[in-house]
Chains A and B, each alone.
Chain A
């Protein structure tokens, strides 16, 4: 089990690294999905199966799909790829790298201060989580749903208005007769 866990860690790190350095958006997204799945494996290995499934279903499933949709809508093609290449020049990494290194040093210092033996093996199953959720943290559930509604309404409101329908010119094609033609006519708009 340990080996699987470490392997999954490696995959996650590599996936994140790739995600931030690809110039094609879809490639980056795919790497990101790989990373998320690896993290799900880590969750599972650490004895949190419920969360690992949730991760796959919601994070890698819904959220990433949203990303993919948007990327498709934006239609970022080769010109953007070239642009990204230009933007990811040399010097751009300097300051963030320095700051990240400082953060890393501090974080490492903080993390290694955590003492303790490796956790004894034990799984915290869905039943336990569910009980805790609806007993002790029931308000959290309500708040979470509020948050989701807010997100929904916000996203709906902020999204740009739909494009104007182009005027339909009288076509010389005969009126649709078959249902198949009708279907194509309707969906062709």
Chain B
């Protein structure tokens, strides 16, 4: 229906990799739980991008269906995750991930 771009799959995958790593860095570096969840979203999105790249390469809808699933999973995860963050804030009065470490040793 419209002209689709012919970007080499390698490039798209490389972009997905970089996005994934940026999200990963965010998870490891940030202490605030909100940011951690945000970075997780970035990572998940990068994975979705990889799937779409594959779908584009093979011209199959299966990749897109996988992305739908990813979307669903991300939504559920965000819902539960954010309610957990609220619970933690309610209990510890902080959203610092390093404070929530009573399972140490």
Contacts and interface: CB of A to CB of B under 8 A. Distances in A.
Interface of A: 1-2, 4-6, 9, 12-13, 16-17, 19-20, 25, 28-29, 32, 35-36, 39, 42-43, 45-48, 50-51, 54-55, 58-59, 62-63, 66-67, 70-71, 73-74, 76, 80, 84, 87-88, 92-93, 95-97, 99-100, 103-104, 107-108, 111-112, 114, 116, 118-125, 128-129, 131-133, 137, 140, 144, 147-148, 150-152, 154-156, 158-161
Contacts of B83: 154-156, 158-160
A13 B78 contact: no
The 6 closest A-B pairs by CB, nearest first: A151-B76, A20-B26, A160-B90, A1-B5, A47-B4, A96-B28
B38 A28 contact: yes
A140 B18 CA distance: 29
A74 B15 CA distance: 33
B86 A16 contact: no
A71 B32 CA distance: 11
A173 B49 CA distance: 59
A58 B35 contact: no
B92 to A, nearest CB: 11
Nearest to A125: B1
9 contacts: A20-B25, A20-B42, A35-B45, A88-B30, A111-B10, A125-B1, A129-B61, A156-B83, A160-B89
Contacts of A100: 21, 24-25
B86 A58 contact: no
Nearest to A57: B71
Contacts, number: 253
B11 to A, nearest CB: 8
Contact of B76 (A29, A96, A148): A148
A4 B6 CA distance: 11
Contacts of B87: 158-160
Contacts of A151: 75-77, 79-80
A36 B9 contact: no
A187 to B, nearest CB: 23
Contacts of B84: 158
A7 B78 CA distance: 29
Given A48-B56, A66-B79, A125-B1, 11 more contacts: A9-B15, A13-B19, A20-B25, A54-B71, A76-B32, A93-B25, A96-B29, A111-B13, A131-B61, A160-B91, A161-B90
Contacts of B71: 54-55, 58-59
Interface string B10-51: 111111011111111110111110110111011001001100
A19 B17 contact: no
